[in-house]
Structure 1
Amino acid sequence: MRAGVYRGAGRMPVEEVPEPVAGPRDIILDVRACGVCGVDLHAFNAGDDTLLGQIMGHEFSGAALYVGREVDGIAVGDRLTGLPIQPCGRCRRCLGGAVHLCEVWATRSIAFGLPGAFAERLRIPDAVLGGNVHRLPDHAAFTDGAMVEPTAVAVHAVAQAQPPVGEPAVVLGLGPIGIQAGQVLLAAGAGPVIGVDLSPLRREAGARLGMITIDGAGGLDGIRAGLHAAIGEREVAVVIEASGDARLVPQAIELVRPRGTVVLVALYRRLSEFDAMAAVQREVTLRGSVNVTPPDFREAITLLDQRRVRMPPLITHRLPLAEVEQAFRLQADAASSVKVMVTQD
């Protein structure tokens, strides 16, 4: 079969690779859509030698081609998506209930150690319907299904924030995770939700999905002025930092109310400096958020099924597997893309 294989910085040629082989508890998926994630993008651009030969792609959907004899509830032809994380179930974190923080998940999961979904077919090991595999709602397209994983990341982040109903919230960074965090906040009853980004395209996408948007070029003063114009206040109950720009962490702390919550749900490649006394004197809660749990995934599926989150406004590009390198280059351009999908429909 064909797959995009990581061969170093900026290189992911489509090559012939062995077909996936499934055991009795596994399924094989005919991949129809896979999104380009920021995690993939960083490795693609940075040249991570540890990933040489890896097939990336962990935001996927497709149709079941093969179902192992010990797999219950799944039939050939079922339209599915799934969690990429395959926890070991034996480390201290797994045994303590934090399976999404498994000590070794990054070496044994789909697209992280195991082959990923920038390929024609994908093996999902130890498939459990409602656990690491989920049916798509009847109305959902395969590209919607490939957006469930980033939506579940947003669900997990919003759960860390515990947003008060009817109270305003800010999302810094309107990439796919930030926009989905905004939709999940609105679905949870927060509001209004104010999204901040430099990209007009991404602000437009956020506005189409119910957010008030502010150009981040004005810095902290500009955001405060925009907040005051929109809601008559300069602070909010919850700030979700989804940009990955470490310089915005102190802004997030300054924008939250006393006893408010800041959630960091991005990848940071540099250290952040902030006024710790500002956090202390206002009793700010600062939380990290990473990965997803099976309940997060189920909630994302429910929100999609109920049409309380929408996926199409985020998807700016669809490219075939043969153009997977170009898909990565497009995803890197925040001015011209929100979410890039590699599709095989």
Structure 2
Amino acid sequence: MKAAVLKQIGDDELDVRTDAAVVAPGPDEVHVRIRAAGICHSDVSAMNGTLPALAPGVMGHEGAGEVLAVGEQVTDLAPGDHVTITFVPPCGKCRECLHGQAHLCAVHTIAAFTSPRFEVGTEPTFGFAGCGTFAEELVLPRDGAIKIDPDVPFEVGALLGCGVLTGVGAVLNTAQVEPGSTVAVIGCGGVGISVIQGARLAGATEIVAVDPVTQKHDAAKRFGATHATTPDGFDELKQELTGGAGFDYAIEVVGLAATIRSAYDATRRGGTVVIVGAGGEDQKVEFTAQELFINERKILPSFYGSADPRRDIDRMLRFWRAGRLDLEGMVSRRLALSDINDGLAALQGGDAALVRQIVTFD
């Protein structure tokens, strides 16, 4: 089968191989044929070493497909079922899962770094984040396959695996944005657009999209932003909308020290700063003890939108069915697996026309 393989950390391109194979599914695992996979910036971050990954490894962590086979202990999925892939499968038994923090479950995450999921040629090969959705098939824990109705398009199901759950979840789960609030969103890529949609769902009255690429501003407004600006105009807009006091919520979706600091500075006293962007270890943000004490702004990191995929994927689909969450509109480009490097190059190049690219396997 075909798979896009990262040969070593630091490579700019993936090697599209035709001699890949999946490991045999264990008793509590499922074998899935991937039908659609999203290209997420986290894939690029893993390739360049910003996020942890193992090489050689099949990249991709956002996808949907149909079940081909299940292990003997899997009783609630069957061949032919449609599923969304989650890269943070909750085990349901650990301390985090039992305390309502399923997104912090590390049971399957640890296994992903110790158990190769593929074989390419004769070499054991890992799946990025325990997945590897840039492959025609994969095997993963049953907990990592969330059943969806067969009428849900596979590309819609793929978006739910990471970007949408991360962005909307940051608003509804992590920040718990209140109706009538003012929200600033720093970064208008695929996850930023999902944050904007989440703020609209939460009933925010002013939603300000901040991005240096002006071509992204129209898309931000199409998905729910009431205003859009470059970083240079951000302070002026803050003055206009809040009288200089600052926004109730500022949600950062870039992962740079400068944008995290900008989010903090844009928030009112007593407001909430949410950090969604996945930054590297070199991105260090400084605050004085005095400003933290005086301002009492809450700083909330948001990993995977603080989501429980067992609950929240269904919730996103209900928003989608009600016409309140535009998922089809987020798909900017479809491409074959053989063109994966073109998609990665467009993402790294900051193509302003892209919200989300989808690899299709039909």
Residues 257-309 of structure 1, C-alpha deviations (whole Å, 9 max, x = no match): 22111110111221122455333212111111112323333332332333321
Q: Which moved more, 1:167-176 or 1:323-332?
A: 323-332
Aligned residues: 338
Q: Report which stretch shifted further, 54-63 or 194-203.
A: 194-203
Asked whether the equivalents of residues 81 and 147 of structure 2 are also in contact (C-alpha less than 8 Å), the reply is no
Q: TM-score by structure 1 length?
A: 0.87
Q: 2:342 aligns with which of 299, 315, 326?
A: 326
- 1:233-248 counterparts in 2 under 5 A? 235-248=246-259
TM (norm. structure 2) is 0.83
For 1:29, the equivalent position in structure 2 comes to 32
2:45 aligned partner: 42
Task: Name whichever of 304-313 and 231-240 sits farther off.
Answer: 231-240
* CA offsets 1:324-343 (integer angstroms, 9 cap, x no match): 22221111122333222211
Specify the code of the residue in structure 2 equivalent to 1:261: T
Contact 1:20 1:28 in 2 (8 A): no
For residues 81 and 93 of structure 2, the distance between their equivalents in structure 1, rounded to whole angstroms, comes to 31
Name the SS of the counterpart of 1:238 in structure 2: strand
Q: Which moved more, 1:222-231 or 1:75-84?
A: 222-231
Q: Does structure 1 residue 258 correspond to structure 2 residue 260?
A: no
CA distance 1:313–1:65, shift in 2 (3 Å) = same
Contact 1:166 / 1:189 at 8 angstroms: preserved in 2? yes
CA deviation after TM superposition for structure 1 residue 86, in Å: 3.5
Whole-angstrom CA distance in 2 between matches of 1:213 and 1:236 = 13
Structure 1 residue 190 and structure 2 residue 204: aligned?
yes
1: CA distance between counterparts of 2:325 and 2:56?
A: 35
Q: In the alignment, what sits opposite 2:16?
A: 14
Listed as ranges, the matches of 1:256-335 within 5 Å are 256-269=267-280, 270-291=283-304, 292-294=307-309, 295-335=311-351
Q: Which runs of 5+ in 1 are unaligned?
A: none
How far residue 172 of structure 1 moved from its aligned partner, in angstroms, is 0.8
Query: In structure 2, how many angstroms separate the alpha carbons of the residues matched to 1:195 and 1:48?
Result: 26
Shift of 1:7: 0.8
**Secondary structure of 1:240 counterpart:** strand
Does structure 1 residue 141 correspond to structure 2 residue 153? Answer: yes
Are the structure 2 counterparts of residues 163 and 48 from structure 1 closer, same or farther at C-alpha, using a change threshold of 3 Å?
A: closer
| Structure 1 residue 118: Cα displacement | 0.4
Distance 1:178 1:47 in 2: 19
1:52 is aligned to 55
Say whether residues 1:167 and 2:181 are aligned partners. yes
How far apart are 1:113 and its partner, in Å?
5.9
Q: How does 1:32-111 map to 2 (within 5 A)?
A: 32-46=35-49, 51-86=54-89, 93-94=96-97, 96-103=99-106, 105-109=108-112, 111=127
RMSD: 2.7
| Further displaced range: 15-24 or 33-42 | 15-24
Shift of 1:170: 0.9
Distance 1:250 1:122 in 2: 40
2:2 matched to which residue of 1?
A: 2
The separation in 2 between residues aligned to 1:278 and 1:141, in whole angstroms, is 48
Which consecutive unaligned segments of at least 5 residues does structure 2 have? 118-126
Q: CA deviation at 1:200?
A: 2.7
